[in-house]
Amino acid sequence: MNHGPSGLSVAVPSTALFTDHYELTMLRAALRAGTAHRRSVFEVFTRRLPEGRRYGVVAGTGRVLDAIANFRFEEDQLEFLGRTGVVDGPTLEWLAGYRFTGDVHGYPEGEVYFPGSPILRVTGTFAECVLLETVVLSVLNHDSAVAAAASRMAVAARGRPLIEMGARRTHELAAVAASRAAFIGGFDTTSNLAAGYRHGIPTVGTSAHAFTLLHDTERDAFRAQVDSLGRGTTLLVDTYDVAEAVRTAVEIAGPELGAVRIDSGDLLLVAHRVRRQLDELGARNTRIVVTSDLDEYAIASLAAAPVDAYGVGTQLVTGSGHPTCSMVYKLVARAGGDAPDAPLVPVAKKSSGGKLSIGGVKWAARPDGPDGEPTTEIVGTGPVPGELAGDLLQVELVRGGEIVGGEPPSAARERHRSARDRLPLSAGQLSRGEPVLLTEYR
């Protein structure tokens, strides 16, 4: 049990079965072979960014830390594993006492990343680290994909507010995670109350077309909403005739009407017509909110339109065409023998087919170039060069099994804004292109 920003309890179930069958069969075999307790280092990275993307966004780190803290095998879970024959008796006994006692380092949440970036490093025994693979990748791949889409939309919005409203377009629990990731990527508010409760994200919402259709006339619906929520509310004006709805809205709420929402049609054309009409009716401060299957390209196309805020759903929570970041969790070093003080030796997959990995425990740095902005991300093994010591990216997240790097989503949001602003201007381009920074290996 933990607590949300409101101080209210938020139940977190065991995450121990958020894993794949083969993690436990590897554990079973390693325990039998006597190699399960060898010190090991796993790293999370991606070999490539989604096509056309210039940078990635690290999101989900806080949820990963929660998942590690709640990775406990409960009695009914152990009974299931034993009854189905996934593991044997000695392995069940080991799982019953499972607690992650290792260390985790990684890019802080909200930071940007590139191909080959060592986004997360998990150190401990092989047994305790290998079990975390699936849940770590599940969280990071999903949340980072949503945050990257959100970041691109925030760049396209040019400072105009963004509302996350995709809960009905994804799994109910994924919706809460997506709202959190979108907030980190640059969205301002969410329609999802669970996200507000769990993560302290501001929530907004007024009415849908159903509310208008419930009433005998649109005027009756607007009157009921204004009487209940006040003149500063947002009225949905495209249920019937937009021009007539805008006229009625201003008649009822007066020039103090907070906003009107447009959810269909040619948004560019309709927004211009509505702005002109509002101004003619004296409602010069009434804002215009647009929704309707927006993505970063649609938002960019409305840059010159008199739009004050955007509401985004489907494209946001599905990563705007890229619902995963293709992150992987690979063993990069392990003890050279069974002795407790055996030195670590690099290990790496060497097969063909584009899935090579680089062995060794890695550090990463992003120094500024001659013009004051970074041009490369430097990834290396061994001692860190002195000139790069102040530019290292990884931070301590877990020490000896204890969470030490927890922080609210608002901190990750500010970090992302700062990290994105440090990138070259070409990072904000929506046209297809290569990663804005090259990865240099040392």
- What are 214-241's pLDDT values in tens digits? 999 999 999 999 999 999 999 999 999 9
- What are 349-385's pLDDT values in tens digits? 887 666 778 999 999 999 998 888 899 999 999 999 9
Q: Are 175 and 198 in contact (CB under 8 A)?
A: no
| Cα gap 82→3, rounded to integer Å | 33
Chain position carrying tokens 């070999």: 47
Residue percentage of the chain with pLDDT more than 70: 97
- What are 291-319's pLDDT values in tens digits? 999 999 999 999 999 999 999 999 999 99
Cβ within 8 Å of residue 323, ≥6 positions away: 142, 145
Domains of the chain, start order: 2-131+326-441 (3.20.140.10), 147-321 (3.20.20.70)
Q: Give start and end residues of each alpha helix (H) in 43-86.
A: 61-69, 75-83
Cross-strand partners of 399: 402
What pTM did the predictor assign? 0.95
Chain position carrying tokens 């929570």: 317
CA 113 from centre of chain:
13
Termini Cα distance of the chain: 43
- When pLDDT is cut at 50, 70 and 90, the band that residue 338 belongs to is confident
Q: Are 379 and 441 in contact (CB under 8 A)?
A: yes
